């Protein structure tokens, strides 16, 4: 058995080592066009920021380690020039233009993804940097370490790469400006969840210039000037471009392999391509969405590793399938984290999927234990079956734990009612007797069972703007909260503990919308009104916390 793997890093290296563990007799050759056969590209920003000091720590495997432990012939600085599928041969060439023919019985493609390079004049400048490979990271860190004049860095791109770079540059003491043509940071998240962090970044010294693209970069070396489409100019000391990636398809197209509807390489669940001898894995490959069953493309290391394992298994003669993924991801912009899994509200709308959304705001551990930090949670679930479809969380602590619970629940086809019964670990420093996951599930079940009717912040904003059949809006928070933040326009303040004595003054013929900070106390208020025969009572989903994540939140002084 001769197995040739084109591409290393996550997908290729995982495929190679898995194939060896299953087939000791196979001849396994891996070629990687870069200088490092397997490295942690997710760790590159943290090397630039200094959290990782030694670049050798980024190397997961080397050509030597792969040969010594696995007898895998790994060749770096080597690319596949062309592949002759009819004769089971590939021509490979190294940086010295020395070519050789490699024969194979099975071929695994793992070319990964390439950085998006926009048509911006000035990107070739030596004070403008990409960040995709170890050499990119070495070059950028050397530049930052060697120039004391740098005070401000501009990051082009507000996706995962861009925001991670904004964090590590800020940690080095620089002022940071992030530019993106998207209307909010981290466009894969729903706008309201992204804005929960976006509103807080300016306080950290990270400026965001959104809704406009970069047209050119000029100026003297070491002091570039960025000109935006809006004609605004940003004077800076260095530029980092982090606009995401796209699948590397050149070789697949040369081989005539089928591409999927996402533009990435099509594979079946065994990671086999449209050619029976060729498997593919990693960032160049199309995925299956476990929620919708539709094709998706996520360039994520965890998925690439699992795909590589399956491809290596099957190329070595085994039998394994990869069912799909949820796109589970997390990003830190210290001290904040944002995480997601499954469907967003935006994706549900785009695909015409029936859904209900729910916000909750809850401390990451017991409120009576010092240091509890809010988790702003948004879930998407099926309103008829109750199955969880997706979740997004923003906060400072405990985000990773909860998003992993939600991801497990989605893949396990759990309903909100079954989530309500989860038995989760509890101790005051790390959680609550009613964990934020449990609280979210309870709130969803309350809505499903008809105990409460909810209204989303966007719906309330439209209702207020319509000036038709206006609801009575009641703020049931305590006085200090109202004084500190103000109230939603046209709201009337009645603290929850005094609500019953005000019942005679409330109109039963008018719709009533109740809110508090998170939606919990206003739920109690809604239950009081419902049981006193008020027919049209709505609880504001997520309370004033969710309301403030609107595009232009409006509050009035109490």
Name the residue among 2, 14, 3 with its Cα closest to residue 281.
14
| Polymer length of the chain | 558
Q: Do residues 111 and 254 lie in contact, with contact meaning Cβ atoms separated by under 8 Å? A: no
Q: Which element (helix H / strand E) includes 41?
A: none
42, 210, 213, 330: which is the annotated catalytic residue? 42
CA 30, 35, 37, 41 dihedral sign is: negative
Q: Do residues 486 and 525 lie in contact, with contact meaning Cβ atoms separated by under 8 Å? A: no
Q: Which element (helix H / strand E) includes 80?
A: strand 78-84
CA atoms within 13 A on the CB side of 193: 32
Q: Does the active-site annotation cover 516?
A: no
Q: What span, in angstroms and rounded, lies between the C-alpha atoms of 426 and 154?
A: 43
Q: CA angle 302-304-308, nearest 5°?
A: 120
**Secondary structure, 3-state, 182-217:** CCCCCCCCCHHHHHHHHHHHHHHCEEEEECCCEEEE
Q: What span, in angstroms and rounded, lies between the C-alpha atoms of 409 and 445?
A: 15
Q: Do residues 164 and 140 lie in contact, with contact meaning Cβ atoms separated by under 8 Å? A: no
Q: What's the token pair of residue 290? A: 């476990």
Q: What span, in angstroms and rounded, lies between the C-alpha atoms of 399 and 341?
A: 12
Radius of gyration of the chain (CA): 27
Indicate the pairing of strand 106-109 with strand 113-115.
unpaired
Name the residue among 319, 313, 315 with its Cα closest to residue 278.
315
Q: CA angle 489-491-492, nearest 5°?
A: 150
Q: What span, in angstroms and rounded, lies between the C-alpha atoms of 227 and 218?
A: 8
Q: What's the token pair of residue 84? A: 């002759």
* 175: helix, strand or coil: strand
First to last CA, the chain: 76
Indicate the pairing of strand 472-475 with strand 512-515.
parallel
Q: Do residues 29 and 73 lie in contact, with contact meaning Cβ atoms separated by under 8 Å? A: yes
Q: Which element (helix H / strand E) includes 65?
A: helix 63-70
* 337: helix, strand or coil: strand
CA atoms within 13 A on the CB side of 392: 24
Name the residue among 430, 368, 378 with its Cα closest to residue 401.
430
Q: What's the token pair of residue 74? A: 């790994």
Q: What's the token pair of residue 53? A: 């000091």
Cα separation values, 86 from 267, 275, 277, 344, 553, Å: 20, 11, 10, 44, 63
Q: Catalytic amino acids?
A: 42
């Amino acid at each position: 058995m001769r197995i040739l793997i084109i591409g290393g890093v996550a997908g290729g290296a995982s495929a190679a080592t898995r194939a060896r563990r299953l087939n000791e007799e196979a001849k396994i050759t891996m070629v990687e066009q870069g200088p490092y056969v397997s490295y942690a590209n997710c760790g590159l920003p943290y090397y630039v920021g200094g959290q990782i000091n030694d670049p050798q720590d980024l190397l997961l495997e080397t050509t030597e380690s792969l040969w010594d432990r696995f007898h895998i012939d790994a060749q770096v600085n080597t690319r596949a020039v062309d592949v002759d599928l009819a004769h089971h041969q590939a021509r490979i060439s190294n940086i010295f233009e020395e070519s050789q023919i490699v024969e194979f019985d099975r071929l695994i493609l793992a070319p990964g993804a390439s950085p998006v390079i926009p048509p911006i004049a000035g990107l070739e400048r030596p004070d403008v940097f990409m960040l995709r490979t170890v050499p990119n990271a070495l070059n950028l860190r050397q530049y930052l370490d060697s120039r004391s004049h740098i005070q401000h860095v501009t990051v082009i791109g507000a996706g995962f790469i861009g925001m991670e770079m904004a964090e590590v540059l800020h940690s080095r003491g620089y002022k940071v400006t992030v530019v993106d043509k998207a209307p909010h940071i981290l466009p894969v998240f729903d706008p309201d969840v992204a804005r929960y962090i976006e509103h807080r970044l300016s306080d950290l010294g990270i400026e965001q210039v959104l809704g406009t693209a970069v047209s050119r970069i000029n100026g003297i070396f070491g002091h570039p000037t960025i000109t935006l489409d809006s004609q605004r100019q940003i004077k800076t000391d260095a530029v980092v471009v982090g606009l995401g990636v796209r699948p590397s398809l050149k070789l697949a197209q040369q081989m005539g392999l089928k591409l999927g509807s996402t533009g990435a390489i099509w594979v079946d669940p065994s990671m086999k391509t449209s050619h029976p001898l060729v498997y593919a894995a990693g960032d160049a490959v199309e995925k299956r969405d476990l929620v919708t069953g539709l094709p998706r493309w996520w360039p994520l290391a965890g998925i690439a590793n699992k795909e590589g394992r399956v491809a290596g298994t099957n190329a070595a003669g085994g039998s394994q399938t990869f069912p799909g993924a949820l796109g589970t991801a997390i990003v830190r912009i210290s001290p904040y984290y944002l995480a997601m899994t499954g469907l967003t509200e935006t994706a549900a709308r785009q695909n015409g999927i029936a859904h209900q959304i729910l916000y909750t705001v809850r401390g990451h551990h017991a409120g009576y234990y010092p240091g509890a930090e809010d988790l702003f949670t948004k879930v998407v679930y099926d309103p008829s079956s109750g199955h969880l479809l997706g979740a997004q969380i923003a906060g400072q602590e405990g985000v990773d734990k909860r998003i992993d619970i939600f991801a497990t629940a989605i893949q396990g086809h759990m309903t909100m009612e079954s989530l309500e019964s989860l038995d989760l670990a509890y101790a005051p420093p790390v959680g609550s007797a009613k964990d934020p996951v449990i609280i979210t599930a309870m709130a969803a079940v309350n809505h499903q069972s008809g105990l409460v009717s909810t209204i989303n912040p966007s719906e309330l904003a439209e209702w207020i703007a319509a000036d038709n059949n206006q609801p009575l809006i009641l703020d049931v928070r305590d006085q200090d909260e109202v004084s500190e933040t103000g109230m939603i326009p046209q709201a009337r303040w009645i603290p929850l503990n005094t609500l019953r004595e005000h019942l005679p003054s409330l109109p039963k013929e008018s719709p009533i919308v109740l809110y508090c900070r998170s939606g919990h106390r206003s739920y109690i208020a809604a239950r009081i009104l419902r049981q006193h025969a008020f027919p049209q009572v709505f609880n504001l989903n997520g309370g004033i916390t969710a309301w403030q994540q609107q595009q232009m939140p409006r509050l009035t002084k109490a």
